[in-house]
Structure 1
Amino acid sequence: MYEISIEDTFDAAHSLRDYNGSCRNLHGHTYKVIARFRYSQLDEIGMALDFRKAKEALRSVLAHFDHKYINELPEFSAQNPTAENVARVIYEKLKQKEPQLFSISVWETATSCVTYFENE
């Protein structure tokens, strides 16, 4: 089994509704996102996944969030833009482009991360 990881970042703001703490206020992050893909076989030239193709797919998904107020995105009209929910939404969007996606990790800070993956 091969696991391929790529990472990228985006900048965005959010606020947490009904949260009793400073994160209820508008604030921003430089989010780091790590996408992990799993493959059991290599192609005819010995690659599981072309890094360039995977990076382009991830960038196209993250462009939806970049320099936005996440609360105003349609996906977050009825749910809080927590790191957990952001990770799941990114996962769902990227999975449509890259079916071998295994997980998405979203870092809000250098020390705080959430990883989303579906049950196998």
Structure 2
Amino acid sequence: MYRIEVVGALKGLTWSSGHYVPDNEKCKNFHGHDYSIDVIIDSDGVKSSGMAIDFTIVKQAIKPVIEDMDHKFMIPEDDIRQNENPGFIDIYVRGKYRGTMSRSDIFAFPYSADTAEFIAKYCYDKIFAKLLGLMENFRLKVTIHEGPGNMATYSEN
């Protein structure tokens, strides 16, 4: 078994985003974090090059995923309502109006909450899809760091 690890904080794979977690007393208010991502790939073998996959290719698979969230406010898709002005969206949390934002300032998050756990799952799905055509027999693990010392990991094994 071969293991490739990319530590995002050391490789510039970081971003800043705002979010809220409605079911958490402290985190229900709008706030933000600096995030980083770590990716671990376990592979059963290596190619003729001697590499399971080039680190550059792994970083190229990660960058567009995190760039979509960078300097955006992550809003769960279910909380987004179209404003009468097409350039803006209204935010409704649990059916209660919370504010209006420019559409260009938000990232429509495809899960019910933009927790570190769901961000890890979201990134896992996107990165796995990109690596699928480039590798065979591999396992992926994605860890999201929400500021220093707080992290959530997603893998399917």
Check whether TM > 0.5: yes
Q: What are the ranges of 5 or more consecutive residues in structure 2 without an aligned counterpart?
A: 76-106, 133-137
Q: Following the alignment from structure 1 to structure 2, what is the Cα–Cα distance between the partners of residues 36 and 66?
A: 22
Residue of 60, 72, 84 corresponding to 2:64:
60
Q: Which amino acid aligns with 1:4?
A: I
TM-score by length of 2: 0.69
Q: Which amino acid aligns with 1:86?
A: I
Higher relative contact order (Cα pairs below 8 Å, separated by 6+ residues): 1
- What's the CA shift string for 1:27-85, capped at 9, x where partnerless? 11110100111111111121111011110110011112111111151414xx1101111
Is 1:24 aligned to residue 31 of structure 2? Answer: no
Offset of residue 24 of structure 1: 1.1
Q: Following the alignment from structure 1 to structure 2, what is the Cα–Cα distance between the partners of residues 101 and 60?
A: 21
Offset of residue 102 of structure 1: 1.2
CA RMSD after TM alignment: 1.4
TM-score by length of 1: 0.89
Is 1:3 aligned to residue 3 of structure 2? Answer: yes
Q: If each structure's strand is expressed as a fraction of its own residues, which one has the higher value?
A: 2
SS at match of 2:120: helix
Offset of residue 18 of structure 1: 3.0
SS at match of 1:18: coil
Structure 1 residues 74 and 109: CA distance shift in structure 2, 3 A: closer
Following superposition, which runs of at least 4 residues in structure 1 exceed 6 angstroms of deviation? none
Please tell me whether the aligned partners of residues 120 and 154 of structure 2 are also in contact (alpha carbons under 8 angstroms). Answer: yes
Q: Following the alignment from structure 1 to structure 2, what is the Cα–Cα distance between the partners of residues 105 and 50?
A: 20
Q: Which amino acid aligns with 1:25?
A: N
Correspondence 1:23-42 to 2 at 5 A: 23-42=27-46
SS at match of 1:16: coil
SS at match of 1:73: strand
Is 1:102 aligned to residue 140 of structure 2? Answer: yes
Overall identity of the aligned pairs, in %: 30
Q: If each structure's helix is expressed as a fraction of its own residues, which one has the higher value?
A: 1
- What's the CA shift string for 1:86-118, capped at 9, x where partnerless? 110111111100133511000102111111001
Q: Which amino acid aligns with 1:46?
A: G
Q: Which amino acid aligns with 2:23?
A: D
Q: Could you say which structure has the larger radius of gyration?
A: 2
Total equivalences in the alignment? 116
Offset of residue 12 of structure 1: 0.7
